[in-house]
Amino acid sequence: MKSLIKKVIKPFTPIIPKGFLSKIPVYGQICVNLPNSQKVYLQTDGDDYIASLLYWGGIDAFEGNTIRLFIELLNYADTFFDIGANTGIYSLIAAGGNPRRMVYAIEPVPRVLDCLRRNIELNKLHNIRINPYAITNYDGEITLYVPNSAIPTDASTLEGFRMTADNISVQAKTIDSFVSQNEISKVDLMKIDTEGTEHKVLEGAKKILIRDEPIIICEVLKGRTEDHLHNVMNGLGYKYFLISDKTLIKKKRIEGDPIYRNMNYLFITEKKKHKTFEVIKNWCA
């Protein structure tokens, strides 16, 4: 029956609203085809919202333009930090695209972490290091609010971020201390999606932002994080670009999308902008 549902619905996915498709569970192994001809495999028991979106609609159903830009930026990254890795789509793309690239997938939710491990094994990748931390602006312990769902993709350390959630205690760590403890010589690219606490991640990465000027893809939630992000990033030489449906849009102020369609920003310094000149030029055209 599950296979029959997929066969019947699949041809009509271009005209079916994404919100409806996301509610149709997908079971088993799926293949995600990327624009660079790379393939990524995900295993789902019908409870992975992101896997369902990717199966029914491809990358355009889940952060398509961010993923396209990310793939191009990976050409300039030997070390990638996936902060809020979830079930791993960004980490899998980064590690699968170059076996010499070092990927640090950081995800604190135990149930999600199990799915991440499974997906890494499925793709036979050996250059991803899994780290079960909540990244923030201090080291120690922190309360993580985990939604009551099978695969909670929007857990946060921000109290009240979701109405119903279980509270668990997890290890908190800053990027600065993580890099120091693991003797990581350079951080080239970071993706940050921590559900309303992205500014705290960056507060705890100040030394790395100054030392390495990593390229950053950061989720921005309207009305929650814009001012906090400016408080951290202003003065560090970063420029701000909204990753829209079609292009990069330069912004003087970080402003979240009020309809939550385009939630990701690119933060990049002049030095890294010059290094990735062709990519940025083409995306801003």
pLDDT for 148 equals 76
The answer to whether residues 45 and 138 belong to one domain is no
State the Cα–Cα distance between residues 162 and 195, nearest whole angstrom: 10
Domain ranges, residue 18 = 1-61
The answer to whether residues 100 and 72 belong to one domain is yes
The answer to whether residues 147 and 206 belong to one domain is yes
| Spatial CB neighbours of 104, under 8 Å, sequence gap ≥ 6 | 79, 80, 81, 82, 128, 129, 131, 178, 184
The CATH number for 188's domain is 3.40.50.150
The answer to whether residues 50 and 117 belong to one domain is no
Neighbours of 83 (CB within 10 A): 26
By C-alpha distance, which of 128, 116, 137, 135 is closest to 43? 116
Within 13 A of 50's CA, how many CA atoms are on the CB side?
22
pLDDT for 33 equals 95
The answer to whether residues 185 and 75 belong to one domain is yes
Last residue of a domain, one of 10, 30, 61: 61
CB 249 within 8 A of CB 272: no
Question: What tens digit of pLDDT does each residue of 225-266 get?
Answer: 999 999 999 999 999 999 998 899 999 999 998 888 899 999
The answer to whether residues 156 and 257 belong to one domain is yes
Last residue of a domain, one of 41, 61, 81: 61
Digit-by-digit pLDDT tens for the chain (285 residues) are 444 455 556 665 666 666 666 677 888 999 999 999 999 999 998 888 899 889 988 999 898 899 999 999 999 999 999 999 999 999 999 999 999 999 999 999 999 999 999 999 999 999 999 999 999 999 999 988 888 766 666 677 676 666 667 888 999 999 999 999 999 999 999 999 998 899 999 999 999 999 999 999 999 998 889 999 999 999 999 999 999 988 999 999 999 988 888 999 999 999 999 999 999 999 996
Exposure string (b/e) for 52-70, b if CB count within 10 Å is 16 or more? bbbbbbbbebbbebbbbbb
Last residue of a domain, one of 61, 76, 97: 61
Exposure string (b/e) for 201-239, b if CB count within 10 Å is 16 or more? bbbbbeebbeebbbbbbbbbbeebbbebbeebbeeeebb
| φ, ψ at 90 (rounded to 5°) | -70, -40
The answer to whether residues 151 and 210 belong to one domain is yes
pLDDT for 7 equals 53
Within 13 A of 67's CA, how many CA atoms are on the CB side?
22
Neighbours of 104 (CB within 10 A): 23
